[in-house]
């Protein structure tokens, strides 16, 4: 293969270029797209003005074969996106170019950036680019620590249908929860937001989430503006929507769903807490909504991704965890 070079620039300019959009549309996750990273950086830079966003393109001849966005905060280096609101990070490469992209980025990181501590997280352990960047970094820094720090459950496909994917006990539990909610609250309907209804649906979700616990109230206070900007920006290209579960004609649960390439991601969810109070404590509108979203996504031929955090409910609904890997380097 021909030699490659790394072209870097500061700021968000590269995130809007055709090459960035084309590469992430073909090979990346929603979290590596320009729209997602621009929304994240708008929030991040406002909270941490001294931090810098560095975007890189790996070029072979006149063709961009790889990209990666980094954050340099004082002397700490990470992939752009952090870990609070972003799941899959790191390089994107054209198929067959993973090793050369990773090698070029690793050399550039060590030769061109003034960092003393690097924590490169968000890598899926069995992904070809993630394996390549791990190998490239550890060749240059043999003392680097590579270890899993979380898991992200997924359901790849269900050729016989979603419910048949579950064992008999879990299938019966899903159906029982659906039937119980219908019995108490009325017929169920899954309603997708439109550009006109998204703001109202999103505010309802954030209000429910803020009420659910002190921790989620803090999350909404800190990241609510970011979530609003992000949902609006991605909805503009039909990559995000708020999906609500209505029971008896009223909303009882909702989720932010991203769609990118062949994957539906559930980014955040909440439900009306009054439905779990008092003698209605057996109701589970959130679980019912997620089960219906999984079923709908798999029927449409999409992978369903729960994102990081292998909570029990994700596993009971059929999620199969994959490890998320972080690389830590000191120099």
In a domain, 308, yes or no: no
Domain count, the chain: 2
| Residues 136, 174 share a domain | no
Percent share of the chain, pLDDT over 70: 98
| Residues 141, 162 share a domain | no
| Residues 144, 10 share a domain | yes
User: pLDDT category, 278, cuts 50, 70, 90?
Assistant: low
Concatenated DSSP letters for 55-119?
A: EEEEEETTEEEEEEEEEEETTEEEETTTTTS--S-S-EE-TT-HHHHHHHHHHHHHHH---SEEE
In a domain, 313, yes or no: no
| Residues 173, 127 share a domain | no
Q: What is the mean pLDDT of residues 65-89?
A: 93
Mean pLDDT of the chain: 95
Cα–Cα–Cα angle for 108, 26, 24, rounded to 5 degrees: 45
pLDDT given at position 280: 57
CA–CA distances in Å: residue 161 to residues 39, 112, 153, 166, 225: 36, 51, 18, 10, 38
| Residues 162, 97 share a domain | no
| Residues 104, 169 share a domain | no
In a domain, 112, yes or no: yes
Please write the tens of the pLDDT for every residue from 149-180: 999 999 999 999 999 999 999 999 999 999 99
| Residues 205, 188 share a domain | yes
| Residues 171, 230 share a domain | yes
The domain spanning residue 295 has which CATH number? Answer: 3.40.630.30
Q: Are 66 and 101 in contact (CB under 8 A)?
A: yes
Give the pTM.
0.94
Please write the tens of the pLDDT for every residue from 175-223: 999 999 999 999 999 999 999 999 999 999 999 999 989 999 999 999 9
Please write the tens of the pLDDT for every residue from 97-133: 999 999 999 999 999 999 999 999 999 999 999 999 9
CA distance 160 to 309: 27
Q: Which of 82-86, 246-250, 255-259, 275-279 has the lowest mean pLDDT?
A: 275-279
**What is the domain extent for residue 78?**
4-150+324-330
pLDDT given at position 2: 62
| Residues 247, 202 share a domain | yes
| Residues 60, 193 share a domain | no
């Amino acid at each position: 293969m021909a030699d490659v070079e790394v072209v870097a620039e500061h700021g968000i300019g590269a995130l809007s270029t055709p090459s960035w959009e084309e590469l992430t549309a073909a090979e990346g996750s929603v979290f590596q797209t320009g729209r997602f990273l621009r929304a994240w950086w708008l929030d991040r830079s406002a909270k941490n003005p001294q931090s810098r966003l560095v975007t890189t393109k790996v070029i072979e001849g006149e063709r961009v074969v790889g990209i990666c966005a980094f954050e340099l905060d004082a002397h700490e280096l990470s992939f752009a996106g952090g870990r609070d609101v972003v799941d899959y990070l790191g390089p994107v490469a054209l198929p067959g170019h993973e090793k050369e992209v990773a090698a070029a980025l690793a050399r550039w990181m060590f030769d061109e950036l003034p960092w003393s501590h690097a924590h490169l997280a968000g890598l899926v352990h069995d992904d070809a680019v993630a394996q390549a960047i791990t190998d490239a970094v550890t060749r240059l820094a043999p003392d680097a620590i590579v270890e899993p720090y979380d898991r992200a459950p997924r359901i790849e496909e269900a050729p016989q249908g979603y419910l048949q994917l579950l064992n008999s006990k879990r299938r019966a539990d899903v159906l029982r929860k659906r039937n119980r909610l219908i019995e108490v609250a009325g017929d169920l309907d899954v309603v997708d937001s439109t550009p006109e209804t998204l703001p109202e649906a999103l505010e309802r979700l954030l209000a429910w989430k803020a009420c659910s616990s002190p921790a989620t109230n803090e999350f909404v206070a800190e990241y609510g503006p970011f979530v609003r900007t992000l949902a609006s920006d991605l909805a503009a290209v039909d990559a995000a929507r708020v999906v609500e579960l209505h029971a008896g004609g009223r909303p009882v649960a909702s989720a932010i769903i991203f769609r990118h390439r062949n994957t539906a991601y559930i980014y955040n969810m909440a439900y009306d807490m009054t439905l779990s109070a008092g003698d209605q404590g057996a109701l589970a509108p959130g679980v019912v909504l997620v089960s219906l979203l999984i079923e709908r996504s798999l029927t449409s031929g999409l992978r369903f991704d729960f994102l990081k955090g292998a909570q029990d409910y994700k596993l009971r609904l059929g999620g199969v965890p994959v490890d998320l890997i972080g690389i830590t380097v000191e120099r």
